[in-house]
């Protein structure tokens, strides 16, 4: 009992107090550590969350960068195509400018040609008219009317120069055909001061002969004397046969025709 009392004395009370202090300290220390740990865990959690957010932002930026890079490549390819197309358009424009210049040169040249073609057409008409007057006198009314029509045509402002030229060339073609065909016709002719109805036989531009309907008189047009002259009876059957051939009443055959022979008038 005494020993117990000793232990429960001042020293014992101090020890008990120390133990209580140490226990309280340990309890406080444990609480502080718990708070520190909790705070550290919160910081770590916040850091992890921040890291995740940063990574998400990085991923988003990476995706945006990839999309932008893809858009850039598409835009770059489109730009290349546009450049190629613009180059093509420029080539077309240059070509059109060249064509335009050529057309303008042709127009300028056409004006010069027009200034020279009009006098030429008048000359062609005059030459054709003179040829008709110097030619064998067949279908004179028709041929002279054609020349008159051409001269009137040249004064018509409603007719193009190309059409005028075409009509002139058509007249030349008609006259050229006369050199390659034969013709039989009937008309009046003054013979010995008397108008007689006769048959005319034309062989190209080589010969123009006549024969009365009763075949009693036969003659031809002498281009040297520009007169109608009688032919000997030996030509009668040949002219008659020529008329039949021209009318397609007989097959073509060898004919003897006058060629401005001096003896034809004898």
pLDDT digits (tens, 9 = 90+) for 121-145: 999 999 999 999 999 999 999 999 9
* Cα dist from 194 to 53, 54, 185, 190, 265, whole Å: 134, 133, 19, 5, 19
pLDDT value of residue 54: 76
Longest CA–CA span in the chain (Å) reads: 208
Q: Which two tokens stand for residue 209?
A: 């002969």
pTM (predicted TM-score):
0.57
Burial of 200 from C-beta contacts in 10 A (0-12 / 13-18 / 19+)? buried
pLDDT tens by residue, 28-47: 666 666 776 777 677 777 76
Q: Which of 158, 164, 210 is nearest to 187 (CA)?
A: 210
pLDDT attached to residue 188? 96
pLDDT tens-digit profile of 202-250?
A: 999 999 999 999 999 999 999 999 999 999 999 999 999 999 999 999 8
């Amino acid at each position: 009992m005494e020993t117990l009392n000793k232990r429960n004395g001042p020293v014992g009370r101090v020890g008990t107090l120390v133990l209580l202090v140490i226990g309280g300290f340990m309890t406080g220390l444990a609480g502080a550590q718990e708070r520190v740990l909790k705070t550290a865990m919160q910081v770590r959690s916040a850091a992890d969350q921040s890291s995740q957010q940063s990574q998400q932002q990085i991923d988003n930026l990476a995706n945006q960068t990839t999309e932008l890079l893809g858009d850039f490549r598409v835009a770059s390819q489109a730009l290349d195509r546009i450049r190629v197309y613009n180059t093509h358009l420029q080539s077309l424009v240059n070509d059109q400018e060249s064509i335009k210049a050529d057309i303008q040169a042709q127009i300028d040249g056409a004006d010069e040609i027009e200034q020279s073609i009009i006098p030429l057409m008048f000359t062609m008409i005059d030459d054709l008219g003179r040829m008709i007057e110097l030619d064998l006198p067949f279908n004179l009314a028709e041929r002279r009317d054609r020349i008159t029509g051409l001269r009137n045509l040249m004064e018509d402002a409603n007719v193009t120069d190309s059409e005028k030229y075409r009509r002139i060339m058509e007249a030349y073609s008609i006259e050229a055909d006369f050199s390659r065909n034969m013709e039989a016709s009937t008309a009046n002719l003054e013979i010995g001061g008397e108008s007689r109805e006769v048959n005319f036989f034309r062989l190209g531009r080589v010969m123009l002969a006549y024969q009365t309907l009763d075949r009693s008189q036969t003659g031809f047009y002498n281009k040297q004397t520009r007169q109608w002259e009688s032919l000997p009876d030996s030509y009668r059957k040949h002219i008659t046969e020529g008329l039949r051939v021209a009318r397609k009443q007989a097959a073509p055959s060898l004919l003897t025709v006058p060629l401005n022979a001096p003896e034809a008038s004898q």
